[in-house]
Amino acid sequence: MSSTFGGWRRPWLVLGGARVDRDHPDLESLRRQRDPEAFLWQILPHAARTFSACIALLPPRVARAAAVGYLYCRMLDTYEDLHPDPVSREAALRTFAARFAVPSGGLPLPAPPAIPAVLCLDGRDATHLLLIERCDVVDQVFVTLDGEQQRAVGDVVAAMATGMCWSSAMFVAQGGVLADEAQLLRYCRNVIGHPVVFTLRLVREDALPAELTEQAMVVGEMVQLANITRDIEKDLQRGVAYHPDLRPLLRGAVSDKAGIRRVRLAYLRLALARVPAYLRVVEAIDFDRISMTRASALLMLLFTDRHYRGCAHRVDVHAWSGADSWVALLRQALPAVISSRYTHKVLARVEHNFLTALQQTESLA
């Protein structure tokens, strides 16, 4: 198995991922790729652009396991997104998770459940379906991971599958709407909280204490709320509302810009208040003196910072300054490789900006 992922080539992989056209993917190139590890890094930006960038900066041994785990989680997302029938959707989620119930001694793993190709809606859906079709290629990297990494992958897949089954049942029972803040935050933990715990477990190479697991889950809430605040209108069009006040707007039947702004502002408040958890998680990592992991952690927060600056502007909260382009974000993150002091300075600045903006929102309706 070739290694296309060594040393200082990783920043170039980050920037290459930024140029990937997720709406018009080169599916034939992805189908032709026979090298399992090359396929891993080629398709990862199609699964999630920002997460792929942060994974690419991790040490190679951790990055491979994180990439494998995240691609399997993306497959779960695809079952959740594209299976139209709730019963078959939940069955597919549980069947996929069961592939990892016993640590693998080799190939082949059980084949993943199929999804009818007729449900493919756009270029991104087509790539995600292709990923499931080529799951066996990802499996070839999975079986090269050590036993603890394999167990970590199996655990995150099982936890996400269980969480997605809960989310699916809630949306069906409640007509596409989450009923309250508690359900919203549980949904965020199901989607991003478990992957954050998984990544931290890989980085620390041991089981997480309960308090650190909780802080990682709060970080997952903050990060997933970014996706939710961005996509309110798009989600309404597909029949999903994460706030009960949005129920009348499902599928675009009614226009209420003021109501959407109020909900977006409420989401923003929830997210900004969670930033201290990010610093606690970073402080719990025993970084080496020279550490790409430190740069990865900083880059993830800088991506989140960029999103919430845009969100603040949309709800008339004074937005703080910061980097926007991928090159600028990467340039800001890379000094963290050699400087712990620099890292904590930037982390503290982001925390200050978030909490200052949170205070500003208190005067807004």
pLDDT digits (tens, 9 = 90+) for 254-269: 688 999 999 999 999 9
Q: Tell me what pLDDT residue 329 has.
A: 94
Residue type, 338: I
% of the chain with per-residue pLDDT over 90: 76
H helical segments located in 99-134: 123-133
Output the CATH code of domain 1-173. Answer: 1.10.600.10
Mean pLDDT of 127-139: 95
Q: Which two tokens stand for residue 192?
A: 């991003």
Write the pLDDT tens digit of every residue in 53-96: 999 999 999 999 999 999 999 999 999 988 878 899 999 999 99
Q: How confident is the model at residue 1 (pLDDT cuts 50, 70, 90)?
A: very low
Taking the C-alpha atoms of residue 14 and residue 53, their distance in angstroms, rounded to an integer, is 5
Q: How far is CA 339 from CA 62, 168, 342, 346, 352, in A?
A: 21, 44, 5, 11, 20
- Report the mean per-residue pLDDT for the chain: 91
Least confident of 97-111, 193-207, 233-247, 258-272: 97-111
Q: Which two tokens stand for residue 5?
A: 């992922």
User: Is pLDDT above 80 for 104?
Assistant: no
Taking the C-alpha atoms of residue 68 and residue 74, their distance in angstroms, rounded to an integer, is 10
Q: How far is CA 68 from CA 64, 87, 157, 198, 285, in A?
A: 6, 27, 11, 11, 22
Write the pLDDT tens digit of every residue in 309-363: 999 999 989 889 999 998 899 999 999 999 999 999 999 999 999 999 999 988 7
Q: CA 31, 34, 35, 39: dihedral to nearest 10 degrees? A: 10
| CB distance 292 to 57 below 8 Å | yes
Write the pLDDT tens digit of every residue in 281-314: 999 999 999 999 999 999 999 999 999 999 999 9
CATH value of 175-365 in 1.10.600.10, 3.90.1150.10, 3.40.225.10, 3.30.200.20: 1.10.600.10
Least confident of 43-52, 61-70, 183-192, 251-260: 251-260
Mean pLDDT of 5-26: 71
Q: Tell me what pLDDT residue 2 has.
A: 44
Q: CA 40, 43, 48, 49: dihedral to nearest 10 degrees? A: 100
Domain with CATH 1.10.600.10 in the chain: 1-173, 175-365
